Amino acid sequence: MIERHVCNGQRSEARTCEPILLPTEAMKVAFVGTYLPRKCGIATFTHDLRHAVAAQYGENCSQVVALCQSGDNDDYPPEVVFKIRAQDIDSYERAAEFLNRSNADVVCLQHEYGIFGGSAGGHILALVRALKMPVVTTLHTILHDPSPEQRKVMEILIEESSRLVVMTERGRLMLRETYRAPSDKIDVIAHGIHDVPFEEPGVYKGLFAMEDRLVLLTFGLLSANKGIEHVINALPAIVAEFPQVVYMVLGATHPNLLRDEGEAYRIGLESLAKRKGVDKHVIFYNRFADLAELTDFIGASDIYLTPYLNERQIVSGTLAYAFGAGKAVISTPYWHASELLTDGRGAIVPFADSEAITREVCALLRDSQRRQTMRQRAYQLGREMIWSRAAEHYQESFAQARVHHEASQPQALLVRTLAEEPIGLPPINVDHVLRMSDSTGMMQHALYSLPNYSHGYCTDDNARALILTFSWDQLGETTPALDTLATSYMAFLAYALHPDTKRFRNFMGYNRNWLEEMGSEDSHGRALWALGLCVEQTRNRGVSLLAEELFTQALPPVAELVHPRTWAFALLGIDAYLRKHPDDQPAKRMRALLVEKLLNRFSEHSRGDWHWLADDATYDNARLTQALIQCGHSMERPDVIGIGLRALRWLVTIQTSETGHFQPIGSDGFCHRNGTRAYFDQQPIEVQGTVAACLEAFRTTEDAVWLDHARIAFEWFLGRNDLGQMLYDTKTGGCRDALHADRVNENQGAESTLAFHLALAQMRMVNNDLAAFQEPIAFIT
């Protein structure tokens, strides 16, 4: 039997295999991806493919599981039977349970890294691994040089999928060469297109009052990599020869670009057109066009342009639509265009070359016969790409997947004891953080669950609060209210930096007056930590630029600070900053200096059974070990990692009770080399630091024992402590301030609340990664 690959309408023999008997009845298919009315190319593709399959095999044979963003209130059509919140990994697991209980025979997954939550979109692996039916995965992006996380996601997806669908021969080749995908798993099915008649542009130009114009068209979501500025730069010379030319740009600004930079790119293009004197020849349609409207725009165009700047674009839906409608296409040589526009079916120009665009556009406008021949060749091949044909080929792929699905054999159920069951984490509740914050920042203290105005604000807490907003953003907890608070926390830090000394002030009264000219060393270190993370993680360009400026100003004074804990806070921020700017020499020198200072302290004080850098262990101790482990990993210094791990192992040992629960060093006396040790008051900040350090140790060593230590420490908040009392208030979303010898402190201040929520966010992120990238593990008891 010959396996046939359909690529842009062309068939190629790929391999010979034994005949197999494919099921003849219509299968029930569950489509997973973004879906209309969400405005994105994957949503349109999923919608069109689903409707093509339903048109041939019946409405009852297909259903949709739609990917949604936080706050998505779109009114989905009836075929959408389940919605996945992209950043909520539990939602993927619930979707798998739903599909396993449904009558679906096969799942058709649309994969694009950016539509799923988690590192490199890894959350989708939690769904794929849990499904009992075969999965046919359509790959919309195949990266030639993926990051380690992207490679890992793709390799697992290849392993877990029964069939892989790519849309070009180059895609098939990349899967085999870059990812070692088995060739007999891969089907090449061209991007589907709508079947439209071959008509002259004049039939449609009247709809736009363009009867006497020559229309150039580009459509799709607007972003800087589309290269539209190069067409505008080409227009003066084009218009000089063909004054009736008009360039139409159809499409809304890409949602991610709109979120991060607003309409700056579009406005820049409009300004460019005015400077070039062609503003009367350029029309922007700032909207997401539906199918009927899109058909009219394409129909009215004389030449379709894709001046894209990314050579490694493996597929373009907009190119496929225009090509299949029989348009004369001029494109840069990105991969899809290079494959599709051969044999006179289109024209290729170099990247970012306005002069070449001018030459080719004018040549095509002069030569109507060449333009017509190009259109006819494109249209003829396009008939092999229409959605009804694509649906047939997908149905063949679905049938192959069912026949070869290895998971059809009964599998033993995974049964775990209570001790082996991973901890159930409470849901995120942002209420108390919102309650404790105002337009100035986050207030320090609380009277029970109410903010205590008499103590005002401090830099320490606003730095922690800013860090928390980044963690929540990664987990998909984004709302306008939280975004506003993040800017308030950032503005607080900016105001806190003294313009003369470049040191941070710490305490501010409720009346917004500073209570000191220079804050503690720790507050300076924490502020630098928050700024470094902000530079690395924020998507707001203005906030990022401000954070870089403040970080640069606040970095030099760190060299004069004397407390090791401050060095550790600063190191965590410097390391984050260097992940964004790895060649920044002042930051690299400061990191090396502070690491050596910590190593010297350990060398001076660590001996016998006392593995610490001083003669007493006070508070937030684990941060020192976290800084060494993290920076040692980044600097490729095994010796630094080893010292950090040894100290953390010692800390965990002395803070584990005889019954196995976490027992942090008390603040009423701390812990000393001479053997004296305080057991109360136990502070949430100590617990959160230990959770973070243990998780950093796990990420560095991949030793599951550190996960168990993190879990035990986190459970302190939930009642596994010396008094058996809950510190976290599930109703308010706040955390009680301390565990005393006989009671809990009922006040729910900023430090304790932020400590809990930072620990919860870190535990959620590691649980998400575990659910996506590896099999569930049993915690050690």
Better pLDDT: 758 or 147: 758
Residues with Cβ within 8 Å of residue 85, at least 6 apart in sequence = 68, 69, 70, 91, 117, 476
Q: What is the mean pLDDT of residues 502-528?
A: 97
Residues with Cβ within 8 Å of residue 622, at least 6 apart in sequence = 648, 651, 686, 689, 690, 692, 693, 694
**What is the rounded CA–CA span in Å between residue 23 and residue 21?**
7
Q: 412: pLDDT confidence band, cut at 50, 70 and 90? A: very low
- Strand 616-617, strand 507-508: pairing: unpaired
The token pair at 49 is 């493919």
Condensed to tens digits (0 to 9), the pLDDT of residues 224-263 reads 889 999 999 999 999 999 999 999 999 988 877 777 778 8
Do 226 and 421 contact (CB within 8 A), yes or no?
no
**What is the rounded CA–CA span in Å between residue 753 and residue 733?**
8
Q: What are phi and psi of 7, to 5 degrees?
A: -125, 110
Q: What is the mean pLDDT of residues 580-598?
A: 97
Q: 25: pLDDT confidence band, cut at 50, 70 and 90? A: low
- Strand 29-33, strand 10-16: pairing: unpaired
Helix (H) or strand (E) holding 560: none
361: nearest Cα among 350, 373, 347: 347
Q: What is the mean pLDDT of residues 183-207?
A: 95
Q: What is the mean pLDDT of residues 543-569?
A: 97
Counting every residue written for the chain, the total comes to 781
Mean pLDDT of the chain: 91
pLDDT of residue 406: 53
- Give the DSSP per-residue string, 505-559: --EE-TTS-BS-SS--HHHHHHHHHHHHHHHHH---HHHHHHHHHHHHHHSGGGG
Q: What are phi and psi of 6, to 5 degrees?
A: -105, 110
The token pair at 260 is 């991060």
**What is the rounded CA–CA span in Å between residue 580 and residue 424?**
34
pLDDT of residue 542 exceeding 90, the answer is no
Q: What are phi and psi of 346, to 5 degrees?
A: 180, 180
Q: What is the mean pLDDT of residues 495-499?
A: 97
Question: Is residue 628 exposed (0-12), middle (13-18) or buried (19+ Cβ within 10 Å)?
Answer: buried
pLDDT of residue 479: 79
pLDDT of residue 611: 95
Q: How far is CA 21 from the centre of its chain?
A: 42
Q: What are phi and psi of 285, to 5 degrees?
A: -110, 100
Rg of the chain on CA atoms, in Å: 30
pLDDT of residue 468 exceeding 60, the answer is yes
- Give the DSSP per-residue string, 203-215: HHHGGGT-TT-EE
Q: What are phi and psi of 16, to 5 degrees?
A: -110, 135
Q: What is the mean pLDDT of residues 490-507?
A: 97
**What is the rounded CA–CA span in Å between residue 547 and residue 491?**
10
Q: What is the mean pLDDT of residues 545-572?
A: 97
Among 394-398, 416-420, 541-545, the least confident range: 416-420
User: Which residue matches tokens 């057109």?
Assistant: 273
**What is the rounded CA–CA span in Å between residue 183 and residue 163?**
10
Task: Enter the DSSP assignment of 144.
Answer: S
Q: What percent of the chain has pLDDT over 90?
A: 81
pLDDT of residue 774 exceeding 70, the answer is no
Residues with Cβ within 8 Å of residue 399, at least 6 apart in sequence = 22, 23, 27
Q: How far is CA 213 from the centre of its chain?
A: 43
**What is the rounded CA–CA span in Å between residue 386 and residue 23?**
24
pLDDT of residue 254: 82
Tell me the three state secondary structure of residue 90. helix
Q: What is the mean pLDDT of residues 113-119?
A: 90
pLDDT of residue 623 exceeding 60, the answer is yes
pLDDT of residue 71: 64
**What is the rounded CA–CA span in Å between residue 704 and residue 663?**
21
pLDDT of residue 12: 42
Condensed to tens digits (0 to 9), the pLDDT of residues 513-525 reads 999 999 999 999 9
pLDDT of residue 15 exceeding 50, the answer is no
- Please list the alpha-helical segments (H only) found in 636-683: 638-654
**What is the rounded CA–CA span in Å between residue 533 and residue 547?**
9
Task: Enter the DSSP assignment of 119.
Answer: G
pTM metric for this prediction: 0.76
pLDDT of residue 755 exceeding 70, the answer is yes
Task: Say what angle helices 480-496 and 459-474 make with each other, to 10 degrees.
Answer: 150
Condensed to tens digits (0 to 9), the pLDDT of residues 67-109 reads 998 666 678 999 999 999 998 888 999 999 999 999 899 999 9
CA atoms lying within 13 Å on the CB side of residue 201: 26
Condensed to tens digits (0 to 9), the pLDDT of residues 330-382 reads 999 999 999 999 999 999 999 999 999 999 999 999 999 999 999 999 999 99
Strands (E), 553-656: 616-617
Other C-beta atoms closer than 10 Å to the C-beta of 108 total 27
Do 185 and 157 contact (CB within 8 A), yes or no?
no
Question: Is residue 425 exposed (0-12), middle (13-18) or buried (19+ Cβ within 10 Å)?
Answer: middle
pLDDT of residue 613: 95
pLDDT of residue 777 exceeding 60, the answer is no
Q: What percent of the chain has pLDDT over 70?
A: 93
461: nearest Cα among 662, 757, 726: 757
